[in-house]
């Protein structure tokens, strides 16, 4: 098997696994279904991953790499930093209103599920969310430096607050099946990020 074929098959397994996890959760994702959908012979899973847990870690690393990439593009837009932050949350709330669900957010779907099951997956979640919060921190710091924003705490504490607020609202939206929690979170974010 060539290196390219091996990489393509591995990538296919990760992509299909992510979709299955978004539907069923990590523990609900069966390896037989994963291999069947990927068109990979049974038994060859372990040529690519040493265990289901290692697969979960690779899947989370892949997911967070994509999220980080899209966030870097978003926050590099030629808009004032405060505006970029507010628009980031506004577009997420709007997307929920259009689709009726939290789209493709693996962190929302499996974070509570896997943190007690796997220390390796918990660490992958921790590192992935830390990278997201670092982008928020940088943007907040620039907004404060440019005198666009005044904060009641340090930029890194505010980034963690924003992340936790939005994650909680996303989970609540899954429970209530409406966007009211995200709308309330957006209103809170507007209060947390007042103009200077």
Q: What is the per-residue pLDDT across 72-113, written as a single tens digit (0 to 9) for each?
A: 999 999 999 999 999 999 999 998 888 776 667 898 889 889
For tokens 């992509």, name the residue: 15
State pTM to two decimals: 0.91
Domain positions in the chain = 1-48, 60-192
Residue 172: φ, ψ to 5°: -65, -35
User: What is the spatial distance between Cα 26 and Cα 35, in angstroms, rounded to a whole number?
Assistant: 15
Fold of the CATH domain 60-192: Tetracycline Repressor; domain 2 (1.10.357)
Name the DSSP letter for residue 179.
S
Average pLDDT over residues 105-124: 91
**Angle, alpha carbons 82-171-66 (nearest 5°):** 60
Domain 1-48 in this protein, CATH class: mainly alpha
pLDDT, mean of residues 178-192: 94
């Amino acid at each position: 098997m060539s290196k390219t074929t091996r990489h393509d098959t591995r990538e296919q397994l990760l992509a299909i696994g992510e979709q299955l996890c978004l539907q069923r959760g990590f523990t609900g994702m069966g390896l037989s279904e994963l291999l069947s959908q990927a068109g990979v012979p049974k038994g060859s899973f372990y040529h690519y991953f040493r265990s289901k847990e290692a697969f979960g870690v690779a899947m989370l690393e892949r997911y967070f790499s994509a999220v980080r990439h899209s966030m870097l593009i978003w926050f590099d837009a030629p808009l004032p930093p405060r505006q970029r932050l507010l628009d980031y949350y506004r577009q997420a709330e709007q997307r929920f209103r259009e689709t009726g669900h939290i789209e493709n957010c693996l962190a929302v779907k499996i974070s509570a599920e896997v943190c007690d099951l796997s220390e390796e997956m918990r660490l992958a979640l921790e590192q992935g969310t830390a990278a997201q919060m670092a982008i928020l921190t940088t943007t907040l710091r620039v907004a404060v430096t440019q005198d666009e924003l005044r904060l009641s705490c340090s930029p890194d504490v505010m980034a963690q607050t924003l992340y936790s607020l939005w994650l909680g609202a996303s989970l609540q939206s899954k429970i209530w099946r409406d966007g009211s929690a995200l709308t309330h979170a957006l209103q809170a974010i507007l209060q947390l990020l007042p103009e200077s």
